[in-house]
Amino acid sequence: MRRTSYVLNSEARWEHFAIGVWSRTASGRPARAKALEQELRRLPQVSEVLPVETNIVIVRLAQDISVESFLRQLQNRGVRALGMGGQLVRFVFHLDVTDAHMEVLRRALLQV
């Protein structure tokens, strides 16, 4: 019984820690996503940027742009994104994204 109690206490501590980290860092992720939204709206390869409300940015590429090629070129420049079917591409901002990462992203988008 003690072992079970210890596991529960350990999980409760982890949950408390995770919530604390999330609350301290969550506010920066939507701001970075909004900044990316503005960058993407200027790109000729992008036909639409869906409204950004969280740490996720979804764009629709122009019909003449290959999603696979776009994603491969980003990945070759150190940026990961996900194809969602059709011409949709998804970018997600995680806890550890820094200003330096944002700069890498901006440069990669300009080179694709």
Span 90-101, pLDDT tens digits: 998 887 888 898
Residue with tokens 């990961």: 80
Residue at 54 is within a domain: yes
The domain in which residue 34 lies consists of 27-111
34-62 exposure pattern, b = at least 16 Cβ within 10 A, e = fewer? ebbbebbeebeebeebeebeebebbbbbe
Q: Which pLDDT does position 31 carry in this prediction?
A: 82
Q: Tens of pLDDT along 3-59?
A: 444 444 445 444 544 444 444 444 456 788 888 888 899 999 999 999 988 889 999
Q: Please report whether residue 11 resides in a domain.
A: no
Local confidence band at 86 (pLDDT 50, 70, 90 cut-offs): very high
For residue 16, being part of any structural domain is answered with no
Any domain includes 43: yes
Q: Has residue 32 been placed in a domain? A: yes
Q: Which two tokens stand for residue 15?
A: 């949950």
pTM of the model: 0.72
Q: What's the structural domain count of the chain?
A: 1
* 8 in any annotated domain: no
Q: Within 1-112, where are the H helices?
A: 2-25, 28-41, 67-76, 99-111
The 3-state DSSP class for residue 48 equals: strand
Q: Please report, for the domain that includes residue 33, its CATH number.
A: 3.90.1150.10
